[in-house]
Amino acid sequence: MPTVRVADLKDGDFLLDVREDDEWKAGHAAGALHIPISEFVARYGELTEAAPQDGRIHVICRSGGRSAQVAVYLAQQGVDAVNVDGGMQVWEAAGRAVVTDDGTPGHVL
């Protein structure tokens, strides 16, 4: 399954966060689309509407396990999707911004 390192992500890359609501509310990457893995299949249409037509979807969770499952599912649907290795834990450790819904600093649960 294709993966990408947090260090290789660029500003403007499309990011899909599949963590649950409490994790998202504590802190997330600004601009990410949030669809919890528990609701993913039912809300798949939201992803197809928001994602760039010919672009890659970078899937992220806390540590990489749940996002790997979603990335595999997307790849099976013919979507260009990759798992973000190490997830939001690595994102935060790398000094990337973690924010709450109101834009204030957040943290990774």
Under-70 pLDDT residues of the chain = none
Residue 31, Ramachandran bin (φ over 0: left; ψ between -120 and 50: alpha; else beta): left
- Strand 33-34, strand 3-5: pairing: unpaired
The pLDDT, as a whole number, for residue 17 is 98
Query: What is residue 41's three-state secondary structure?
Result: coil
Query: What is residue 32's three-state secondary structure?
Result: coil
The residue annotated as part of the active site, out of 9, 32, 35, 61, is 61
Catalytic residue list contains 52: no
The pLDDT, as a whole number, for residue 1 is 81
The pLDDT, as a whole number, for residue 96 is 97
The pLDDT, as a whole number, for residue 67 is 98
